[in-house]
């Protein structure tokens, strides 16, 4: 009888040890699978990541990379979302169910992106974000899609104002005087005079580094001197006069169109078009 009891006890002990080993393996491997799934989701920037309204999604994005999110929305609702990104430079584009670009936003440093789109057609709306960083490691962000709410007049006006401001962000990203002036017009349309004043101040800074514009009188004088210097007498000599005029106006910001018109006028008066 004793050998039988010992055998039974050993058998029971082995069974317990085997069950414990199985549970341990399952416990260890389960987090690994979840971690791998999350890592794949973050690295597969070209894949569509579904985000339900009322939910958030965190991720990392590298310089120049894109992440694409899909949100299902019904007609008559307002699709509103925000992106918390720290100082990450980011471009955000929203596409409709048929692939039409609805809005494009270029964000500034330490700006929380907040956009809203009236849903006039039911379907899946695509939100595409792209890092505008030049060289950097993965940077964190969090996108939050608000719960869908019925469109109200106030909500539609707010959305229109945000969409009117979006092109201004894209224009100001070039930091050129002409683009900033266009940005000012967009901000004024959106009723954001505070941002328009900020852009005007930046234009003043930019223009302080630019060559001073040549006045019309200075261009007239430079063209006359160029005609005398080259001995030009007809429109056939326009190329030589233009080159000499540009040399004379070096260091000044001369309007090329105005220079051309003055050269044509003076040469036509001097000898006609022959």
The count of structural domains within the chain is 4
Q: Per the domain annotation, does 248 fall within a domain?
A: yes
- Return the higher-pLDDT residue of 79 and 181: 79
**Helices and strands counted in the chain (H then E):** 7, 10
- Return the higher-pLDDT residue of 71 and 185: 71
Q: Per the domain annotation, does 124 fall within a domain?
A: yes
- Return the higher-pLDDT residue of 171 and 95: 95
Q: Per the domain annotation, does 77 fall within a domain?
A: yes
Judgement on whether residues 13 and 76 belong to the same structural domain of the protein: no
CATH number at residue 99: 2.60.120.380
Number of Cβ atoms within 10 Å of the Cβ of 233: 13
Q: Per the domain annotation, does 63 fall within a domain?
A: yes
pLDDT value at 12 more than 80: no
Query: Domain range for residue 239?
Result: 216-271
Q: Per the domain annotation, does 68 fall within a domain?
A: yes
CB 117 within 8 A of CB 125: yes
SS3 244: helix
* Cα–Cα distance measured from residue 42 to residue 20, given in angstroms and rounded to the nearest whole number: 34
Between vectors from CA 222 to CA 219 and to CA 224, what angle results, nearest 5°? 110
Judgement on whether residues 175 and 188 belong to the same structural domain of the protein: yes
Q: Quote the pLDDT of residue 106.
A: 82
What average pLDDT score do residues 58-82 get? 94
Question: Model confidence over 38-53: pLDDT tens digits?
Answer: 333 444 456 899 999 9
pLDDT value at 274 more than 60: no
Question: Model confidence over 93-135: pLDDT tens digits?
Answer: 999 999 999 988 887 666 678 888 999 999 999 999 999 888 7
- Return the higher-pLDDT residue of 25 and 69: 69
Pick the last residue of a domain from 167, 194, 210.
210
Pick the last residue of a domain from 187, 210, 233.
210
pTM exceeds 0.85: no
Q: Quote the pLDDT of residue 34.
A: 37
Number of Cβ atoms within 10 Å of the Cβ of 263: 24
Beta bridge partners of 62: none
């Amino acid at each position: 009888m004793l050998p039988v009891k010992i055998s039974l006890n050993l058998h029971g002990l082995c069974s317990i040890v085997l069950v414990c080993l199985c549970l341990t393996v399952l416990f260890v491997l389960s987090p690994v699978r979840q971690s791998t799934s999350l890592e794949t989701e973050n690295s597969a920037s070209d894949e569509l990541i579904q985000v339900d309204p009322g939910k958030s999604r965190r991720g990392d994005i590298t310089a120049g990379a894109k992440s694409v999110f899909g949100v299902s929305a019904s007609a008559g609702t307002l699709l509103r979302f925000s992106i918390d990104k720290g100082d990450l430079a980011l471009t955000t584009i929203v596409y409709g169910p048929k692939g039409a670009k609805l809005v494009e936003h270029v964000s500034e440093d330490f700006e929380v992106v907040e956009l809203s789109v009236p849903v006039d057609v039911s379907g899946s709306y695509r939100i595409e974000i792209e890092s505008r960083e030049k060289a950097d490691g993965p940077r964190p962000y969090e996108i939050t899609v608000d719960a869908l709410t019925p469109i109200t007049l106030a909500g539609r006006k707010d959305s229109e104002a945000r969409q009117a401001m979006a092109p201004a962000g894209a224009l100001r990203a070039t930091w050129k005087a002409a683009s900033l002036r266009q940005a000012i017009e967009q901000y004024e349309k959106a009723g954001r005079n505070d941002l328009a004043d900020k852009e005007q101040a930046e234009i003043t800074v930019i223009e302080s580094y630019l060559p001073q514009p040549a006045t019309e009188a200075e261009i007239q004088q430079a063209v006359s001197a160029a005609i005398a210097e080259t001995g030009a007498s007809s429109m056939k000599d326009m190329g030589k006069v233009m080159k000499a005029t540009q040399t004379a106006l070096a260091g000044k910001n001369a309007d090329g169109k105005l220079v051309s018109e003055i050269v044509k006028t003076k040469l036509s008066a001097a000898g006609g078009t022959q």
